[in-house]
Structure formats: structure tokens, C-alpha cells
Amino acid sequence: MARLGRSKAHRIPDAIFALRDQYVTAAGQPVSAMVERDRDPHKNDHVWITIEAGKFGRIQIALSTMSRQSRAAGFDPNLNVGIISSTWNELPVAGIRATDGLDYGRIEAGHSIDFASFERETLEQLLTNKTRRAIFVEAWGELYLRAHIGVHQVHSRRSSFAVTRDIIGQDGAVRFYFEKPNESEMLLFKFAGQP
């Protein structure tokens, strides 16, 4: 009997395949930032940042720019974004690795963070501008394998007005590293009704 397995023509390296659907951090030099442009403008809700993640190659970070679920349920679809500014001395190692989850509650306990509401177009501009300025990008989220390799769920995973599933300790975020004067900005994302 023939054994079923992954196609050799589209074989994903074992190091990546082993991390599928796991909570990871991905880090690397930014290559591009692309705003989603669907034929139906109501479906546009992402910015995709592509990074060069060392031996893992190019990885796509999927950042939500609005909540279609909130909009459909009659709630505010805008994302609330908090920014933590800091400095850096050394860049993280480029690549993808399994990691302990981020917890926004713990992060907020150690920082005073003002969350501001962003409309989709304004958030698209913010993310593409930060990607253009950055020399390095790091993201926390869930690894997915489709036609490409990427990281999604880059936002709070707590229950919201539109989504009842409550996941604690596996929040996602993105951090931009800038060259001068060695500043970085970590962006946290919340949907309407998330604590």
C-alpha cells in the first residue's frame, strides 16, 4: 500500500513543518508591506509584511486592519492599537522559533499603554510606513502553512464583543526596529470589547 505524505515538489522544510499551528516568534529583515486589495472592498482587512527570516526564507506576517466579525455583529470594526517605545542594543536572531506566549495583561501591568482607535486606511498607512522605516521586524503569533508560510493571530486573543473564544497567554504583537537612534516600537492590537 502506498504511503501518503507531503508532496516532494512542494516540500516544506521539516524545521518549519514541525512548527505548524504553533505559537511562534518570527524575525527578520523587512522585504515588503502589501495592503490587501480584494475586488470586494468590504473584504480588505489585512496588511501583509514579508520578512527574510534567515534559513527559513521569506515569511509573511498577516496583520489585521479591521474586524469583519465586529462589523457584521454591529460593533465598532476599528482596531485599538497600543505602542510601546524602547531602545535596542542587539537585534534578535533572524528565523522562526516556538516561544512562550505573550500576555497583554502582563505587558500592560508593566507599561502605561494608551490604546487609540484606528480606522482601516489609517492603520494601513501606519503599518506600511513603519515597515519602510524598519531595518528589522519581529512578530508573535501562530504559524500557518498555505500557499506560503506565515504568521497570523497577531493581536489579542481574548474574547471580544464579536468572538466569544477566550485564549489567555497567546496574544500576538509586532515589533519594528529602527536604525537610528536604535529605537523600537512594539504594537499591540485589540478588537472591540477585548480587555
Q: What is the pLDDT of residues 80-110, one digit of tens each?
A: 999 999 999 999 999 999 998 899 999 999 9
Is the model's pLDDT at 117 over the cut of 70?
yes
Pick the closest to residue 60 from 151, 144, 130 (CA basis).
Answer: 151
* CA angle (70, 73, 79) in 5-degree steps: 10
Q: Give residue 11's pLDDT.
A: 58
Q: How far is CA 123 from CA 35, 120, 194, in A?
A: 10, 5, 18
Would you say residue 1 has pLDDT above 50? Answer: no
Report yes or no: 167 and 158 within 8 Å, Cβ to Cβ: yes
d(CA 167, CA 155): 11
Using CB atoms within 10 Å of the CB of residue 31, give its burial: 0 to 12 exposed, 13 to 18 middle, 19+ buried: middle
Lowest-confidence segment of 1-10, 57-66, 141-150, 177-186 by average pLDDT: 1-10
- How many CB atoms are closer than 10 A to CB 157? 23
Q: What are phi and psi of 120, to 5 degrees?
A: -50, -50
How far apart CA 49 and CA 58 sit, in angstroms, is 10
Question: What integer pLDDT is reported at residue 12 of this predicted model?
Answer: 64
Residue 102 CB neighbours (<10 A): 21
Residue reference for cell 516568534 = 25
Which of 195, 192, 193, 194 is CA-nearest to residue 76? 192
The region of weakest confidence among 28-37, 80-89, 138-147 is 138-147
Mean pLDDT of 140-162: 93
Dihedral pair phi/psi, residue 183, rounded to 5° = -95, 160
